[in-house]
Amino acid sequence: MSNDLLQRGKAIKLAVFDVDGVLTDGRLYFLEDGSEFKTFNTLDGQGIKMLMNAGVQTAIISGRKTPVVERRAKNLGIPHLFQGREDKLVVLDGLLAQLGLSYEQVAYLGDDLPDLPVIRRVGLGMAVANAADFVREHAHGVTRARGGEGAAREFCELILRAQGRLDAANAAYL
């Protein structure tokens, strides 16, 4: 992990996640009745909870809108959920105004072109290992894990490590 990523992670007060391809593996599963389902990684969920327990706020901004994501956000206690929004930078502008935060205090994890404006603007903009090439090239860092396979956990632990809180976050479970 580079010193630059750790330095950027020190200032983070809000961690924002895309869903498809980040909290999931990016595949869309549709049932015959038209409903869909997604699979989420429990390691990612625990990482998000660890962040929130350490005082870092969390949000989801997703281009798609599904009840499954609403349920997952509620289960994890993620207070800021925005679905069906491709204009992610506009959404983030409003959220930052509401929370009284600056872009330098935001970390974002994404995987595809709609995430790129946010990745390039925030203090810590990261891409998952299997993100689109162009997105990986413009991110501050790239996770080792693929989307839906622990990338969000890795991202959360990076922030906690940068803030000197990872050991305390882990010790809380001893």
Q: Which residues contact 155 (CB under 8 A, 6 or more apart)?
A: 15, 47, 107, 109, 126, 143
Q: How many CB atoms lie within 10 A of CB 6?
A: 16
Q: Which of 148, 143, 123, 163 is nearest to 18 (CA)?
A: 148
Q: Known binder of ligand: residue 93?
A: no
Collapse the DSSP code of 107 into the 3-class scheme (helix H, G, I; strand E, B; otherwise coil) and give the result.
strand
Residue 18 annotated as binding site: yes
20 is in an annotated binding site: yes
Task: State both tokens at 71.
Answer: 């349920």
Consecutive H or E run containing 125: strand 124-127
Binding residue ranges for Mg(2+)? 18, 111
Binding residue ranges? 18, 20, 111
Binding residue ranges for substrate? 20
